[in-house]
Structure 1
């Protein structure tokens, strides 16, 4: 069902979306009376000079089969035809809340504005040039309900579209992780019961959920493999750890990388092996320049590296600047583990001559906030954290210099493949560990 994309093309190869009135009368919901309300899902559309795509993005949000949606548009002081388009949306869809920045502030600030105005227990950030397929929210909420491990967000695969047609049906980094067999944890899944009286649909959006869901655990420093902005559905309480508060976010771009890294670090992520979003490539994207092709960069590699660098630093800043509040919410042990994980993970991010090296960045920030951190963790706890951070840095510098171990990946793939075939979780876990060795 999820792989049938023909319904999204008409004779002129333009994407067709379900009309709002048709959705209400012919949707998948069974009409059964619910004992409790389903959670509200906030779809926050961020727009800067994408007026030509905005109506399709809004229509895709309102065409969701899931019955409890709020839609908020944040316009970041666009200078194109967006103002006229927003007036049309306001007239046609008065239920859509529209917020306009007086001055351009960047993607991360737009996320924060929309988040502050929203009230959903789950939050989706939709780039204005992308489109959600009709079962996006239904599938993500079904997966959240089916997880024994309450992850910070779920991330689904994406279609890549150019000139109104779908070119690719998978994101390479996402697909490579799925194909490796890593992260399969059947014991963490319990498909949500359709007969519970809560779920309003007659059938599940994923009948084979055990083979479709892959986990990346909290405190895992795996490189970014989850989908870009529009492929993710966050728990609200996970986002509160990284948006709002006393720290002002001065990172204008790469907000999706920042949130993906930060939320995954503390709460983990579940990947959904199903494409549920259309990522539109139109020549003016912030990242991709063309649909992915194996062996060919789809974006400027330096731009991608700098996004990783900026997001890593922003997560460090957030954890340290909000150290007292976050240590209280996470617990001191998990808070310390998160900082240690970041120190270990810097090895996968490049250093740039024009920017401060990441190697000592956490130590520098801890020293600058030493007094506050001692109050937060206690004098002994702070000294222990500082000692472990220094030791982790030295270990990672040594590992960067060490010759690679080419034998580990084949053995890891062997363990993962046969562990999956024979349903041996310990063998799969060994494969996971060898992959990072």
Structure 2
């Protein structure tokens, strides 16, 4: 078996004080099979000068300076189809990797070939890289995951030395696709199989400036499951300008601002829109998982399926693409699935809304 190639994608905007360490940490990996694409999102600080220092230092590095700030998701979609790696890690420019990051993730993907993503532990640091706390993800996935069974590993490929591989097995948890919720560390800590990213690649018009992990991790997990490594393999830098966690975990509990939580909720609804608009496509390949996929965005928000599917924003998405869902699942299955999620009263109100929309000359059904 050939060692899998990893594509690291570093996306930077005005993190000149940090991006150099992010690049250096990728180049310092003790696993050599990788490429690293550095995208600068129209920075106005000294980021491009910092990035330029790395040009022509390693043939595995590639750089692109964008004229406009495409935000994280836009920049990643800009480059996704050009990536050569079987595995993909999207590196936040203010984070950095430890030297064993790539090897541990690649080994786990080899040992668990059916999973779609892996997530490592993080060491939270301050702006200068000084340790603050050990992160939080283990508390989340230990509730639902099961220990990795080495006897079920289908890989004879030894990326790690035997002692390290045994440590990986001891510290890894496999989470089945039917287990909803958020089980993972943020952003940089995650590594995906590229073909699953391509499989659920969204339209930028749908997801806007969503964070990549916020969209891809629940989606890929619902498609193929995931595995978590209870070892700190990267650093999550807390410097006051973070989109989500602006304070360290206290203890092992992520702190979010109310505004950031609301943004996450809105962005995860993009997953529902992508699924609904391509329902026949997903049902043809993942029929058994379609409604599980539809449920996935609700759980990280800590609300019931009934409350989520009766949210006017979600009902608008379903109404936009109701004909597509009917064509994919059939009337009986669609009725049963939505009634189970909305309740009888909610489903009746949804059908009334759908009828009103169809009667309007500017109806958006399956056009949105």
TM over 0.5: yes
Alignment: residue pair count: 344
Match of 1:43 in 2: 8
Match of 1:408 in 2: none
Match of 2:269 in 1: 313
Q: Distance in 2 between matches of 1:320 and 1:393?
A: 16
Segment of structure 1 superposing worse, 271-280 or 112-121? 112-121
Cα distance change of structure 1 residues 375 and 132 upon mapping to structure 2, 3 Å threshold: same
Quote how far apart the aligned CAs of 1:333 are: 2.7
Kept after mapping to 1: 8 A contact 2:309/2:342: no
Kept after mapping to 1: 8 A contact 2:207/2:267: no
What is the root-mean-square deviation in Å for CA atoms of aligned residues?
3.0
Q: Distance in 2 between matches of 1:38 and 1:266?
A: 24
Match of 1:230 in 2: 188
Q: Distance in 1 between matches of 2:125 and 2:300?
A: 33
> What is the aligned counterpart of 2:128 among 155, 159, 164?
164
> What is the aligned counterpart of 1:272 among 225, 229, 252?
229
Match of 1:120 in 2: 85
Unaligned runs of 5+ in 1: 1-35, 398-437
Quote how far apart the aligned CAs of 1:107 are: 1.3
Match of 1:175 in 2: 138
Unaligned runs of 5+ in 2: 347-368
Provide TM-score, normalisation by structure 2.
0.83
Cα distance change of structure 1 residues 361 and 267 upon mapping to structure 2, 3 Å threshold: farther
> What is the aligned counterpart of 2:342 among 386, 393, 400?
393
Kept after mapping to 2: 8 A contact 1:108/1:249: no
Match of 2:25 in 1: 60
Match of 2:283 in 1: 327
Q: Distance in 1 between matches of 2:143 and 2:253?
A: 24
- Paired residue secondary structure (1:287): coil
Q: Are 2:106 and 1:155 aligned?
A: no
CA displacement, residues 164-204 of structure 1 (integer Å, 9 cap, x when unaligned): 344345222x13135x55412444764576xx4x4355435
Cα distance change of structure 1 residues 358 and 91 upon mapping to structure 2, 3 Å threshold: farther
Cα distance change of structure 1 residues 297 and 373 upon mapping to structure 2, 3 Å threshold: closer
Match of 1:184 in 2: 146
Quote how far apart the aligned CAs of 1:210 are: 4.0
Quote how far apart the aligned CAs of 1:314 are: 0.9
Structure number with greater Rg is: 1
Cα distance change of structure 1 residues 199 and 346 upon mapping to structure 2, 3 Å threshold: closer
Q: Distance in 2 between matches of 1:370 and 1:288?
A: 36
Q: Distance in 1 between matches of 2:213 and 2:170?
A: 27
Kept after mapping to 2: 8 A contact 1:309/1:350: no
Provide TM-score, normalisation by structure 1.
0.71
Quote how far apart the aligned CAs of 1:225 are: 2.8
Q: Distance in 1 between matches of 2:104 and 2:163?
A: 8
Quote how far apart the aligned CAs of 1:265 are: 1.9
